[in-house]
Amino acid sequence: MADTTSDAGFALPKFILRAPTLWAGLLMIALIFIMAAAKGSLGDIGQDNDDVMRLVQIRDYLLGQGWFDTNQYRLGLAGGTDMHWSRIPDIPLIILTHIFDLFTTQETALQISYTVWPPLSALVLIFAMTTGAKFWAAQYGINPKATYGFTLVLLAFFVLNFYRFTPGAIDHHNVQMGLVAWAVVLLLDPKRRFWTFAASGAAVATSLAVGVEVYIFAAIICAFVALNWMVLGASARAGTQGFGLGLCAGLVVCFFGTIAPSEYGVVACDALSLITLSAALVGGLGLASLASGLSARSLMLRFMGLGVLGVACVLVLSFQAPQCLNNPLNVLPDVVDRLWLSNISEAKGLSLGMKNAAMEIPYMLGAPLLALGMLIVAIWKNRRWGGTVLILMLLLGALGLTIYQQRFFPFAYVVSILPLAGWIAKTYQAGVGKLAAHDDASDTPKPSNIAYIGALALSVPLIWAVPGILMSEADNAATEASKATACYSSSVMDALNTLPTGVIAATSNGGAPILNATKHRSISGNYHRNITGIALQINIGTSTPDVAKSLLKDNDIDYLHFCRPTAETQNLIDENPDGLYGVLKQGIVPDYLTPAVDDLEDGDVTIYKVVR
C-alpha cells in the first residue's frame, strides 16, 4: 500500500505531494485528451484558419523551406505572401516531429506532434500561475496551500475550456499566454532578485518576438518595473537591472535567431524587426543603467532619469518608424475593412448591440471586473504597491483590449486568477477560523463553511453567463461553422486534387484549407499581409460578370471555388446582387466559366474552370 499523508481530511500518495503541480497538470491534460477523443477530433488539425496555416508553414519547413523564410509562396498573387510569423511557436512541434519520426513516417510524426503539443503547452501556464499563487499568498498573508489549491481549480476551469489547449490548436496563442504569465508572476517575487526579474524580462522579450498582440501588456510590464524602481529605489536595484538586461538579451537572441541577415535593417510594425530590437535596447539598457547609477539617489532624480529615458524611446520610435505608432490595420482599403476584417469574429469588439450580448459580455467581463474591484479595494485599504498594482495595471489593459477585440478575453481572465484565488482562499480561511473557534459544547448552531463555494462560483466565467444563456436566442453559429466546413471538406479537397495544379479564387476562409490539402495556389486568405489577394477576391465576387472575367483572366486564375450557403459568400452577394457571386447563386453561369467537376456537398459547392 502506498505511503500517504493527511493534511486536510483526506490522504494523498507522497509521490503526488512531492510534485502536485505536475500531477494536477497531467490530470488536466488527460481530461483534455479524453474530451477530444469523445468528440472524435483526436488527430485533426484545429478548425481555426491560423492553426491550419501554421501547419502549412511547418510542413513547408520540414520539406526544405528555409528557417528564416516564412513566405507562403502559394498564397496571394505572384511572389506569394510574407506571413511574418515567428518561428518560435514552431520549435516544439519541429522537435517533437523529429523525435516521433524515428519511429514512423514524417507526416504521421507531424500529426502526433500537433495532437499532443497544445495540451502539453498548458503546463507552461499552470506552473507559472501556481508559482504566482505562492508569491500572492505571501504578499497578503493568506494560507498558501489554500491559495495554491484554488488557483489550480480556476486554472482547471480555464484550461479545460480554452480552445488553444485542445489537440490540433497549434497557433501561437498558447505559447504566448504561458510566456506572459511567467513574465508577470516572476515580478511578484517579494525579494526582487536579479535572476527572477531577468527571467521575467526574457519572457517579455520572447512573447514580443512571438507576436505583436502582447505589445500593450509588455509596455505595461516595463512601465511597472520602471515605476517600481522609481518608488523603491535601492531595494529594487538588483531586480530592475536584471529585468532590463533580460529584456535586451532575450530580444537579441530572438532577433538573430529568427530574422534573416538580409532583413536586419527592415522595419516591420507587425512583427519582430529592427524597430523592436532598437526600442528594447534603448529601454532595457537605459533602465539597467539608471538602476545602477541612481538607485541610492533621490526620488526626484530617479523620476527625471526615467523621463529622459522615456523621451529617448519615443525619439527612437518617431525617427526610425513613426508609422508604427499607428494600428497597422488602419491601412486596409475600405472595401477590405468592411467586407473582410469587420466579419472576423476575433477582431470584433464587445457591444450591447452584438448578438447574445446578455450572455457574452457577462461571460467575458464578469470575473475580471470582480477581480478589478478587489484590487482597487486592496490598494485603497492597505496602500499596497508591488504585485497588486502590477496586476491592476495589466487587468485594466486586458479589459480595455477585450472590449476592443474579444480575442483578448483569455488574457483578462488569466490576469484575474491570482486575486480571485486569493479571495476564495481568504473566504475559506475565515470559515475554517469560525469553525475552530466554535464551542462544540454550546447550544448555538455550528457555523457553516460554504461561503467560499459562492466565491468560487463567482470566479468562474460560465456562472456569469447563465442568465444570458437562459435569455439568449438560438445561436446559429454551429450551423454556420458546419456550412463553412462543408465548403472545404475532404470531398471538396479530393475533387480539387484531381485537377491540374493551378490558381484558385476562393473566399478568404478557403485559403488555409486549400494550401493544406492541395498543391494549388489560393489568391485569398485571412491574413492582413494578403491585402491584395483579399481585395482581388472581393472584387471578383462583387464585380459585374464582364469585369470579373477580366479580373480572372488578367490574374491568370484557373479555378473559381463557389460555396453558396456561407455568410462570407452572402456578404459579397449583398454588396452587389448583380455581381458575379450574385448571378452564380441565381444559377446564371457566364460563358467563361464551366464546371470543372460535378457539384459537391449536395450542390452547395461548385468548382468552375476559367475558360481562356
Compute the distance between CA of residue 129 and CA of residue 180 in angstroms, rounded to an integer.
11
Task: Give me the pLDDT at residue 309, please.
Answer: 94
Give me the pLDDT at residue 164, please: 93
Residue 43's region, left for phi above 0, alpha for psi from -120 to 50, else beta, is left
Instruction: Give residue 435's pLDDT.
Output: 54
* pLDDT value of residue 8: 42
Helix H or strand E encompassing 341 = none
- Cα–Cα dist 11/3, whole Å: 9
- Tell me whether strands 559-563 and 503-505 are parallel, antiparallel or unpaired: parallel
State the pLDDT at residue 503.
Answer: 95
| Cα angle: 126, vertex 132, 136; to 5 degrees | 140
Consecutive 10-residue averages of pLDDT for the chain (612 residues): 42 64 94 94 91 96 94 91 92 97 95 97 96 90 90 96 94 94 94 95 96 92 95 93 96 95 89 91 94 91 94 87 71 77 74 78 93 89 78 94 91 96 89 56 57 89 84 57 75 94 93 94 90 92 94 94 88 92 93 91 92 86
CA 162 from centre of chain: 10
How confident is the model at residue 323, as a pLDDT?
Answer: 77
User: Domain 479-610 carries which CATH code?
Assistant: 3.40.50
Closest CA to 593 of 576, 578, 607, 579: 607
pLDDT at 384: 63
Per-domain residue ranges of the chain: 191-331, 342-436+446-475, 479-610
Please tell me the distance from the alpha carbon of residue 55 to that of residue 170, in angstroms, as a whole number.
8
Residues whose CB is less than 8 angstroms from the CB of residue 171 and which lie 6 or more positions away in sequence, other chains included: 46, 48, 50, 51, 54, 89, 164
Q: Give the model's pLDDT for residue 324.
A: 77
Task: Give pLDDT, residue 115.
Answer: 97
Q: How far apart are CA 18 and CA 7, in angstroms?
A: 14
Q: Position of cell 479524453?
A: 34
| Alpha carbon distance 597, 495 (integer Å) | 7
Handedness of CA 495, 497, 498, 503 (dihedral sign): positive
Tell me how crowded residue 241 is: count the other CB atoms within 10 A of its CB. 22
